[in-house]
Amino acid sequence: MARLWCRVTHPLRRNWRRGALLLVSVVAGHLALIVHPQPLFAHSLQRGNVVLYARAPLPPEAVPILDDAVRRISRSPLYDPARTHHVFLCDTPTLYGFFTLWKQRSGGVTDTWAWGNAFIRPTNIAHNAVIGASGVEKAAPRTLAYYLAHEVSHAMTADHTGRVAFRSLAAFQKEGYADYVGFAEPVDLAKGRADFIAGTADMDPQKSGHYDRYRLLVGYLLQERRMSVDDLLAKRLDQSQIERELLTARLNR
């Protein structure tokens, strides 16, 4: 009986080991492509310190879009012209899902754990637009240039704070600052506060997928409180406390 049991279990053990080895190989291959996706993207364009990659030749319209994105990020004190950022345009939802997994309905994702590679969902470069998960192009001011600047800002922030510290920041700090850089203009605090009080759709990130609420809070801290970007990102801040302060503040006009 013992010999029969051994004969049965040995093939099971071998199959389990093969399955485990296959799983490890698949995971390792996936991680390797996230760190170095270039083999899947045959075409590239560099402007300033940002390299844009695509699987098809990039049209002429990509040049001013990328120039605009570099202009936006260069206004941040975290900007380092010597640090090259890599952004990959995924031309199908399947490819985008491969790199972003459970975040595949987003407009863009940045790998802040490793090299800071950014991935953007399918686009219409001729329209300077990102195509949302619904299949509809995102409207201005959330242009492709905005998405590029937003995602690269995540990489710049993680470089500045360190990877572990970046993860400990509140969502409004990470997304709000990236949106602040992505929009490349001061926040209209009075209008933003009115929208916040009214509970407009864009002020709910969970429902709208937009970060207007977070950008408002970051704009309040940077513009009204005169907080430095270093202080904004130095530690986790209490979002509720800042929202209460915003509601009662006398805003400078």
| Shared-domain flag, residues 140 and 216 | no
Q: Which of 161, 182, 209 is the last residue of a domain?
A: 161
pLDDT of amino acid 10: 57
Q: Which of 101, 136, 161 is the last residue of a domain?
A: 161
Number of C-beta neighbours around residue 194 at 10 A: 11
What does the pLDDT look like over 130-170, one tens digit per residue?
999 999 999 999 999 999 999 999 999 999 999 999 999 99
| Shared-domain flag, residues 78 and 143 | yes
Q: Which of 107, 141, 161 is the last residue of a domain?
A: 161
pLDDT of amino acid 252: 76
| Shared-domain flag, residues 26 and 91 | yes
Task: List 88's β-bridge partners, or say none.
Answer: 53, 119
Question: How many domains in the chain?
Answer: 2
| Shared-domain flag, residues 69 and 153 | yes
What does the pLDDT look like over 169-213, one tens digit per residue?
999 999 999 999 999 999 999 999 999 999 999 999 999 999 999
Q: Per the domain annotation, does 9 fall within a domain?
A: no
| Shared-domain flag, residues 217 and 130 | no
Q: Per the domain annotation, does 14 fall within a domain?
A: no
pLDDT above 90 for 69 = yes
Q: Per the domain annotation, does 37 fall within a domain?
A: yes
| Shared-domain flag, residues 157 and 177 | no
Q: Per the domain annotation, does 10 fall within a domain?
A: no
What does the pLDDT look like over 88-111, one tens digit per residue?
999 999 999 999 988 999 999 999
Q: Domain containing 132 — which CATH number?
A: 3.40.30
| Shared-domain flag, residues 155 and 175 | no
| Shared-domain flag, residues 228 and 125 | no
Q: Per the domain annotation, does 112 fall within a domain?
A: yes
The angle subtended at Cα 54 by Cα 110 and Cα 146, nearest 5°, is: 50
| Shared-domain flag, residues 239 and 173 | yes
**pTM score above 0.85:** yes
Give the domain range for residue 204.
169-253
Grade residue 4 by pLDDT with cuts at 50, 70 and 90.
very low
| Shared-domain flag, residues 44 and 151 | yes
Q: Per the domain annotation, does 1 fall within a domain?
A: no
| Shared-domain flag, residues 52 and 141 | yes
| Shared-domain flag, residues 94 and 178 | no
Query: How far is the C-alpha of 226 from the C-alpha of 112, rounded, in Å?
Result: 27
What does the pLDDT look like over 12-62, one tens digit per residue?
566 767 766 555 555 555 666 777 899 999 999 999 999 999 999 999 999
